[in-house]
Structure 1
Amino acid sequence: MKIVEIREKTLPISSPIRNAYIDFSKMTLSLVAVMTDVMRDGKPVVGYGFNSNGRYGQGNLMRERFIPRIMEAMPASLLSDDGGNLDPHRIWNCMFTNEKPGGHGERSVAIGTIDMAVWDAVAKIEGKPLFQLLADRYGDGVARREVFVYAAGGYYYPGKNDDALKDEMRSYLDRGYKVVKMKIGGASLDDDLRRIDAVLSVLQDGQKLCVDANGRFDMDTAIAYAKALSQYDLFWYEEAGDPLDFELQAMLRNYYDKPMATGENLFSMQDARNLIRYGGMRADRDWLQFDCALSYGLVEYLRTLDMLHQHGWSRTRCIPHGGHQMSLNIAAGLGLGGNESYPDLFQPFGGFPDGVQVENGMITMPDLPGIGFEGKANLYQAMKALSDA
């Protein structure tokens, strides 16, 4: 048993949308295929992975460092003790060879993308959905097949007025979502409050709004928004300041006693630990958004969950960023609080397998081997084009 080839291709996910910090007009991602010599149903097992939106494709790092390390390793050194499957932890250690600690940067995205493909292959070799494999290996064996999801959108868009924003949010609610999210910080406070009021006007009982500043604010602006947002019953106030400005995050608790969320731009267990130690996050109400596809993959995410447990946090306070099926499987298999969803953006990489519907803010995981990419026809078409090339 061995990995026979790893392929990577950089693909566009460009869009004219913008948040408070960046536009997505030139956004890319890396698509990876980990090809093995294991046969299932007469075909070799191939694991697939890709990185989340907001960070660009990392093909050069993969081709120059991480893929060669895997391919140059002795195949047996990358297997489980019984030789019956690939070992994601050993493959991760192989990729991290000769890498200094700290300064995680974009290498965490490159490793996380390959790690996703490895886990997809591992679950397929075992003939299980990844969520069930995770429940068996790291949980109590019982997968939580129903997963809470919220609809992320509300981006700034040329010519998009309040009526268009309301129509967008209605479309998510009509598709079964109970929680929706919009961007703030890309306009003045008064304009953003008007936009928030517009969205709140279309919500019904039991429906909630999140707002996301994408790390745009300095201390004074973050506090000004916190005071203004306190009049609303929001699901959360997200990433007010720079992701590594833990003092700013800690200070906000003095001005905003309702739920806050952050963490999507922290790319290691160590950075996540510093947030918990120094960021003033409150385990009874706040939300953590670490995204495995951007932060060294599931191997590192397991370390992060262990750290959270040691600091008295429940994994149910984790709702990952990214809107991808990898985090859906982690949520179902390891009992997270839910997952982000992009109903209309970053296609074909966002969303669920075909036929999966949102009902009352929840989706039910289908029985598909691996991560389940093969169940999403337009996504699998792009993946198969890479592995068949």
Structure 2
Amino acid sequence: MKIVEIREKTVPISSPIRNAYIDFSKMTLSLVAVITDVVRDGKPVVGYGFNSNGRYGQGQLMRERFLPRIMEAKPDTLLGANGVIDPHKVWDTLFRNEKPGGHGERSVAMGTIDMAVWDAVAKIENKPLFQLLADRHGDGTVKRKVFVYAAGGYYYPGKDDEQLKNEMRGYLDRGYSVVKMKIGGASLAEDRRRIESVLSILGDGQRLCVDANGRFDMDTAIAYAKALQQYGLFWYEEAGDPLDYELQSILRSYYTNPMATGENLFSMQDARNLIRYGGMRPDRDWLQFDCALSYGLVEYLRTLDMLKQHGWSASRCVPHGGHQMSLNIAAGLGLGGNESYPDLFQPYGGFPDGVKVDNSFVTMPDLPGIGFEGKADLIREMRALAS
């Protein structure tokens, strides 16, 4: 068994939306196909992967460094004891001759390739990835119903409060009971007005998250914390720079309700520093590490081990990204849920066709691998790359 070829294509997911820090007018992602020599129904088994929104495609980095390392490796050095491609050995090969630290862009490149490898391995074993993970790294138990929330509420040219409310009503009408909106791209007074407009349409059991995308300095983060405390939000997300652990730690003195952060920490070591020094509270706060941006599932497993050692439950993890890879991890390894983009970044966001949201939960379908084949618009683009 071997990997025959790996292909990458950089594709646009551009949009006129913006958050507090960036706009998405030139946003791209990398789509990867890992083609194996295993044949099913007359066709080779292919694993697919892509990186999450908010970080750009990494094709050049893959082609110059990472893909040649895999293709130049002896095939048997990438296999496990069962004779199947071993994602951990692939990961070790990808990281060969890389120094520690400096996680930024290479963690995205490796995470994208890693996703495709896991998709291929689960398909070869003819299992949904969530079941493969539960069997290999859990007790075999799968959490078939996974919590999801609807992410949106971006700033958009000409978008007023009524349009924001209509957007959120659309998510609620589709079965979400938790929705998220952006803050920090306007004044505190304007953001408070926007927040209150969304809160005015929420019913019993429906909650709002807000996300500042790391925009605030200490004084602004505290000012927002004092203003937000009254609203009973589901969480206050990424107030300051993701590496400013002191800001995050101090903020808990001003905000007793749940906070969330971690989507822009791209290694187990950075995640560990957040847990050590960021003042995060395991009884209420949420961790948003995204495997597709942080070296992939192999590294995410190390992160989960670290969290356990520090007294954290995997159920406090709700990954960023809105992709089916994290959805499988949530089901197979007992995470607290997953982000969802019902309308944005299509066809890469969302669920397999026919999967419905019920009170912010989805039920995992029995599809081999990550389940991309169940989403018609997405698998069409993936197969075009592999064919």
Match of 1:16 in 2: 16
Secondary structure of 2:156's aligned partner: coil
Pairing of 1:146-157 with structure 2 (within 5 A): 146-157=145-156
CA distance in 2, matches of 1:253, 1:161: 32
Secondary structure of 1:230's aligned partner: helix
CA distance in 2, matches of 1:352, 1:230: 33
Q: Give the superposition deviation at 1:9.
A: 0.2
Secondary structure of 2:65's aligned partner: helix
Pairing of 1:274-293 with structure 2 (within 5 A): 274-293=273-292
Secondary structure of 1:44's aligned partner: strand
Q: Give the superposition deviation at 1:189.
A: 0.1
Would you identify which runs of 4 or more consecutive aligned residues in structure 1 move more than 4 Å?
none
Match of 1:245 in 2: 244
Match of 1:64 in 2: 64
CA distance in 1, matches of 2:323, 2:40: 25
Q: What are the superposed Cα offsets for residues 138-190 of structure 1, whole Å, 9 maximum, x if unpaired?
A: 11101101000000000000000000000000000000001000000000000
Match of 2:2 in 1: 2
Match of 1:359 in 2: 358
CA distance in 2, matches of 1:313, 1:185: 29
Q: Aligned letter for 2:74? A: M
The answer to whether residue 86 in structure 2 is matched with residue 75 in structure 1 is no
Match of 2:319 in 1: 320
Q: What are the superposed Cα offsets for residues 38-89 of structure 1, whole Å, 9 maximum, x if unpaired?
A: 0122211000000000000000010000000000000000001131x10000
Match of 1:90 in 2: 89
CA distance in 2, matches of 1:152, 1:350: 11
Root-mean-square deviation (Å): 0.4
Q: Give the superposition deviation at 1:227.
A: 0.3
CA distance in 1, matches of 2:81, 2:367: 26
Q: Give the superposition deviation at 1:220.
A: 0.2
Q: Aligned letter for 2:102? A: G
CA distance in 1, matches of 2:253, 2:327: 33
CA distance in 1, matches of 2:102, 2:93: 19
Match of 2:115 in 1: 116
CA distance in 2, matches of 1:89, 1:47: 16
Q: What are the superposed Cα offsets for residues 262-294 of structure 1, whole Å, 9 maximum, x if unpaired?
A: 000000000000000000000000000000000
Pairing of 1:1-389 with structure 2 (within 5 A): 1-83=1-83, 85-388=84-387
Q: What are the superposed Cα offsets for residues 120-153 of structure 1, whole Å, 9 maximum, x if unpaired?
A: 0000000000000000001110110100000000
Q: What are the superposed Cα offsets for residues 66-118 of structure 1, whole Å, 9 maximum, x if unpaired?
A: 000000000000001131x1000000000000000001110000000000000
CA distance in 2, matches of 1:297, 1:306: 15
Secondary structure of 1:10's aligned partner: strand
Q: Aligned letter for 1:214? A: N
Q: TM-score w.r.t. structure 2 length?
A: 1.00
Q: Give the superposition deviation at 1:352.
A: 0.1
CA distance in 1, matches of 2:361, 2:42: 35
CA distance in 2, matches of 1:352, 1:157: 25
Identical counterparts, % of pairs: 83
Runs of 5+ unmatched residues, structure 2: none
